[in-house]
Structure 1
Amino acid sequence: MKALLHLPLALATLTLSTLGMARAPLELVDNLDLERYQGRWYEIALLPNRFQKRCVSDTSALYVLRDDGRVQVTNRCRQEDGRWREAEGIARKADPEGPNAALEVRFAPKWLSWLPFVWGDYRVIALDEDYQYAMVGSDNRKYLWILAREPGLDQRVFDRLRSQAEDQGFDTEKLVMSEHSDAP
């Protein structure tokens, strides 16, 4: 019985200590030029996620800048049976006054766009000055993608990106390399 009296205090202490351990915000790239960012990006590696579980190879994303400043997103991958799977979405700045590198992406139907939970974090945390490779993650560190303009990436560059992701709190031990049938 005496232990039960201390339970609320223990829970309050645990809650406060957990709040104090909140992760620092992601360090984003200084400037993202959406015009240069548009085009095809090949997935080089990712942290596994539920919405890509049917993808076995050839995963890529095509970004097309729209007249309204948003980005049309088409994600594509090959499934185990050889068929292509596509998902159409839209990306927008997370905060109109915030950095260009903090985006949100939605794959749900447009009529659901008023619901905040249909918009996922898309934070550009690394970007080559020539826009040849990029790394994108989410604030909660559950999602991470390493992308490149070609289906392969130099190992030194990959290792540097992996280290940077680890420094930002991502569990890089869980990174999975993506396969491409047209990889060099």
Structure 2
Amino acid sequence: MNIKRTSFVIAMMGAAAATAALALSACVAIPKGAYAVKPFNKDKYLGTWYEVARMDFKFEKGLSQVTATYSIQDTDKIRVDNKGFNKKEGKWKQSIGKAKFVEGPETGRLKVSFFGPFYSGYNVIAIDPDYKYALIAGNNLKYLWLLSRTPDMPAEVKEKYLAQAKALGYKTEDLVWTDHSAL
């Protein structure tokens, strides 16, 4: 192989690697104008959260009674246990994943994976001082969750979080409000 061809092949491989790295890092992004909670208390965040509302997507479509339970998996990982009831199928669905901090445990910016090496952004962009209610942004405006330590959230907290999400560009009218009536 001549030097020009070798240089070209090396340059193409480098460009491909850079493109792949950029594509993967974009998956753990935070929506423009959103900021992760800082300081963030990982230990206070652990435990079970009820999904109050979400932007619907294929992995949660048709689910009710959705919860997410976070626990320590490793020194630098959090175990994520999501479950919800599919009324149509009459059975529970569960997904176990892992989360890692993007900027360190003092910032509510994580990346979550349920499928091998592929991560998505999980950004805690609002939380009350007692860690009872949280607003979570995904890596773009297609993913948003309102979470609570109980199946419901006070109207004033809900309104505050909806206003914050709307200001970032979320179409809050598209939110699916999670049914917890069978609990």
Structure 2 length normalisation: TM-score? 0.77
CA contact (8 A) 1:27 1:168 kept: no
Residues of 2 paired with 1:156 and 1:126: CA distance? 14
Q: Corresponding residue for 2:175?
A: 175
Residues of 2 paired with 1:69 and 1:34: CA distance? 11
Q: What count of residue pairs does the alignment treat as equivalent?
A: 152
Q: Corresponding residue for 1:152?
A: 152
- Residue 90 of structure 1: which of 85, 91, 98 is its match? 98
Residues of 2 paired with 1:182 and 1:151: CA distance? 11
Cα gap change, 1:31 to 1:135, in 2 (>3 Å): same
CA contact (8 A) 2:41 2:106 kept: no
Q: Is residue 45 of structure 2 the alignment partner of residue 37 of structure 1?
A: yes
CA contact (8 A) 2:54 2:175 kept: yes
Q: Once the two structures are aligned, what percentage of the paired residues are identical?
A: 32
Q: Corresponding residue for 2:108?
A: 101
- Quick one: which amino acid aligns to residue 41 of structure 1? W
Q: Corresponding residue for 2:82?
A: 75
Structure 1 length normalisation: TM-score? 0.77
Q: Secondary structure at the match of 2:162?
A: helix
Q: Is residue 49 of structure 2 the alignment partner of residue 49 of structure 1?
A: no
- Quick one: which amino acid aligns to residue 72 of structure 1? R
Q: Corresponding residue for 1:131?
A: 131
Residues of 2 paired with 1:25 and 1:119: CA distance? 21
Cα gap change, 1:67 to 1:139, in 2 (>3 Å): closer
Q: Deviations over 1:62-101 (max 9, x none)?
A: 00023413110000000123311100000001245x8621
- Residue 68 of structure 2: which of 45, 57, 61 is its match? 61
Q: Corresponding residue for 2:35?
A: 27
Give structure 2 stretches of 5+ with no counterpart. Answer: 1-30
Q: Deviations over 1:93-130 (max 9, x none)?
A: 1245x86211000001xxx32xxxx1010000110100
Residues of 2 paired with 1:24 and 1:105: CA distance? 19
Residues of 1 paired with 2:160 and 2:34: CA distance? 17
Q: Secondary structure at the match of 1:50?
A: coil
- Quick one: which amino acid aligns to residue 29 of structure 1? V
CA contact (8 A) 2:111 2:121 kept: yes
Cα gap change, 1:156 to 1:25, in 2 (>3 Å): closer
Give structure 1 stretches of 5+ with no counterpart. Answer: 1-22
CA contact (8 A) 1:91 1:103 kept: yes
Residues of 1 paired with 2:145 and 2:40: CA distance? 17
